Amino acid sequence: MKSSKINEYKNMSVEELQKELKALKNELFKLRFQHSLKGLDNPKKLTLVRKEIARVNTLISEKESN
In terms of DSSP H, where are the helices of 1-66?
Answer: 2-10, 14-37, 44-65
The pLDDT of residue 3 is above 80: no
Residue 51's nearest CA partner among 4, 6, 19 is 6
| Those residues with Cβ within 8 angstroms of residue 56's Cβ, 6 or more apart along the chain or in another chain | 9, 17, 20, 21, 24
1 or 27: whose pLDDT is higher? Answer: 27
- Flag whether pLDDT at 19 surpasses 70: yes
Q: Is the pLDDT of residue 46 over 60?
A: yes
**Backbone torsions φ then ψ of 11, nearest 5 degrees:** -85, -5
- pTM exceeds 0.85 for this model: yes
Residue 2: band (very low, low, confident or very high) from pLDDT cuts 50, 70, 90: low
Mean of pLDDT values over 2-20 = 88
